[in-house]
Amino acid sequence: MDKLKKKWDELSPFFTFEEIQKDILELSKLAGKKNLVVAAANEKNVIKASIDAYKLGLIEINFFGDKKIITKILKEENFKLTSCTIFDYPDSHKATMESVKFISEGNGDFLMKGLVHTGTYLKAILNEEHGLRRKKGLLSHVAIFQPTGFKRLFLMSDAAMIIEPTLQQKIDILKNAVYIAEALGINTPKVAMVCAVETVNTKMPSTLDAAIISKMSERGQLGINAVVDGPLAADVALSEEKAKIKKLTSEVAGHADVCIMHRIEDANVFYKLMELFGGGNQAGILAGAKKPVILPSRGDDDRVKLNSILVGTMMSYYEDVMFG
């Protein structure tokens, strides 16, 4: 474990998904490969992404689902059946419950959603007996992007879990996103509370929440190592040029590592637009669980799912370093 921590400390921030992949290989030489568990793995893109990660030397694979369907897809992809483990559960609900139980018993390192309804997936994760939710933790979705032409990763939350977050839930969402950023080697992340404008407007509750959270951060009330500012519009948060044009003085403006959205509609639209126009350079993961949990969108292709596997793998190593 000491060798792993030393290697981790030597790694630089991961500015691209390619750099994450490279460093996973270095970490695996010291700590061994991570075991991916796929719930209801009866879907071609999730299987293809898993195979690609295996062929890159990043993971071992455990598929839970309909063995006939999984075997058929693996043969179509010319993948040796002996290179993975298949647990035959034709019913997607049962497959999901058993995959979560498998991880909770210490047999896998991180979980990925296959062809199963999100509600069923989350129900298994939240199961009191064998689930993966931390006792007092809020589950939130964190998206990681590196759109075409953009030279670094940035994170955004919450596009999938909390419909209309309260002020306290926004703080928890922020903390979860900062945790993921730290797992990706981003020390002291810069966090933008994203709104439609950069000024506080009493008729816009989003700006009030953003200002409150920013002031709380400034006074050390959040208990995290991050720089938080808001309200900030999305363009100002991510574009140094836009920030200069609007003459904003801020450590975060133009350099945001994390964007926290006001509510799920804003975040989900952001995510879907990035999916359409970002060149496929994105990933999605749940924060707040005992183990890394990948929650891909049904529209995500195998490239996005491979990126999500990269993030899940790196998170697993990070937790080894942090918690032993």
Residues 157-178 have a mean pLDDT of: 96
In the chain, DSSP assigns E strands to: 34-39, 59-65, 85-88, 110-113, 140-145, 154-157, 190-194, 227-232, 258-260, 282-287, 293-294
Gap between the Cα atoms of 186 and 81, Å rounded:
38
- The pTM is what? 0.93
| pLDDT confidence band for 14 (50 / 70 / 90) | low
83-128 confidence digits (pLDDT tens): 999 999 999 999 999 999 999 999 999 999 999 999 999 999 999 8
Helix pair 44-55, 302-323: axis angle to 10 deg: 60
Pairwise pLDDT comparison (323 vs 231), residue with the higher score: 231
Show me where the domains of the chain are located: 1-133+289-324, 144-282
For the chain, the straight-line distance linking the first and the last C-alpha, in angstroms and rounded, comes to 7
Residues in Cβ contact with 298 at an 8 Å cutoff, skipping those fewer than 6 apart: none
Residues 39-43 have a mean pLDDT of: 95
182-233 confidence digits (pLDDT tens): 999 898 999 999 999 999 999 999 999 999 999 999 999 999 999 999 999 9
CATH fold of the domain at 144-282: Isopropylmalate Dehydrogenase (3.40.718)
45-91 confidence digits (pLDDT tens): 999 999 999 999 999 999 999 999 999 999 999 999 999 999 999 99
CATH number among 3.40.50.200, 3.40.470.10, 2.30.30.230, 3.40.50.10950, domain 1-133+289-324: 3.40.50.10950
User: pLDDT over 90 for what percent of the chain?
Assistant: 77
Give the number of C-alpha atoms closer than 13 A to the C-alpha of residue 271, restricted to the C-beta side: 27
227-232 β-sheet, strand order: 85-88, 59-65, 34-39, 110-113, 293-294, 282-287, 140-145, 154-157, 258-260, 190-194, 227-232
227-264 confidence digits (pLDDT tens): 999 999 999 999 999 999 999 889 999 999 999 999 99
What pLDDT is attached to residue 43?
92
What pLDDT is attached to residue 193?
98
